[in-house]
Amino acid sequence: MQIFSPIGELKMQNKLIDMHCHLDLLENIDFSILENVHILSVTTTPSAWDGNQRLFSKYDNIKIALGFHPQLIHKRINDFELFEQILPKSKYVGEVGLDGSAEFRPFLEKQKSIFESILKQCTKNNGKILSIHCRGAVEETLNLLEKSPDAGKFILHWFTGSIKELERAIQLGSWFSVNNNMLLSRKGIQLVQAMPINKILTETDTPFGKFGHINVYNQLQNTLNALQKIIPSLSNETIISNFQNLLMKNKLST
């Protein structure tokens, strides 16, 4: 069984976890604020990988995920060859997945073809940790994940599906990264309440969403505070424990 190395060698005590952040899209980065955050910085295109490595590889608490955002696939479908070339270098994959919202549903078949190929390549490369976008296409996303049980561990980022779809994702062993935007609606709160507490992680999705203007550390702290009101037994220690379990196991089911 492959063991994923931790994000950095820093002690985990009192650290916050951001499992989905577009760090390269921030105009100004205050690294002093990020010292107490372990960050998975996702990318939107394979060509962004090298630049992100140059920017962030010297920081132990930041890891880069190789991405191919579904909203961009129809414009950059030929970039998949570059994705394949880079994939062996990365333990982390994201942001990838499907987007079935009105604007992008016409391109869903292209997205499915690329996402299925990504999962096959992850399987060939001993499994990865994937941060997955599934807006408006949860069923299609889960269908492809179910067909690729050895692609690695997957996290459904900013999940907005139905309770039934959530239950199926749980059966497939999904983790869920939660941001404060999700906790503004009754549906979002109901979804979080139905998530297994040992599969919940925190994210910001900075710079996107209502809170993109707030720094990463404060966003995460606000999310934790909101989560604890919904799930009183959840603490940052819970998130850290979930994070460590994610890194230590390379199976889709528990």
CATH number at residue 68: 3.20.20.140
Domain for residue 2, yes or no? no
Q: Kindly state whether residue 162 falls inside one of the protein's structural domains.
A: no
| 6 within some domain | no
In sequence order, the β-bridge partners of residue 132 are: 96, 156
* Same domain, yes or no: 40 and 149: yes
pLDDT at 61 > cutoff 90: yes
Number of domains comprising the chain: 2
User: Do 200 and 226 meet the contact criterion of CB atoms below 8 Å apart?
Assistant: no
Residues 124, 201 share a domain: no
Q: Is the pLDDT of residue 77 over 90?
A: yes
Q: Specify the DSSP class assigned to residue 150.
A: T
The rounded distance, in Å, linking the Cα atoms of 178 and 175 is 10
Chain-wide mean pLDDT for the chain? Answer: 92
Same domain as 98, residue 45: yes
* Domain that residue 209 falls in: 168-254
Residue 11 belongs to a domain:
no
**Is residue 248's pLDDT more than 90?**
no
Mean local confidence (pLDDT), 12-40: 89
pLDDT bracket for residue 28 (50, 70, 90): confident
**Residue 23 placed within a domain:** no
Same domain, yes or no: 140 and 182? no
Residue 154, number of CB atoms within 10 A of its CB: 29
Q: Is 8 contained in some domain?
A: no
pLDDT (0 to 100) of residue 6: 46
| Same domain flag for 127 and 176 | no
pLDDT digits (tens, 9 = 90+) for 132-174: 999 999 999 999 999 999 999 999 999 999 999 999 999 999 9
Residue 253 reports pLDDT greater than 70: no
Q: What strand order describes the sheet that includes 16-21?
A: 16-21, 37-42, 62-65
Let me know whether 40 and 152 are in one domain.
yes
Residues 178 and 153 in one domain: no
pLDDT of residue 11: 53
Percent of residues in the chain assigned helix, strand, coil, to nearest 5: 45, 15, 40
Q: What is the mean pLDDT of residues 109-119?
A: 98
Q: Please report which confidence band the pLDDT of residue 8 belongs to, taking 50, 70 and 90 as the band edges.
A: very low
Are 125 and 213 in the same domain?
Answer: no
Do 151 and 184 belong to one domain?
Answer: no
Which residue, of 124, 157, 190, is where some domain finishes?
157
Q: Examine the domain organization and report whether 135 and 228 are in the same domain.
A: no
44 shares its domain with 126: yes
Q: Are residues 182 and 222 in the same domain?
A: yes
What CA–CA distance (Å, rounded) separates 21 from 205?
A: 5
| Residue 9: predicted pLDDT | 38
Q: How confident is the model at residue 12 (pLDDT cuts 50, 70, 90)?
A: low
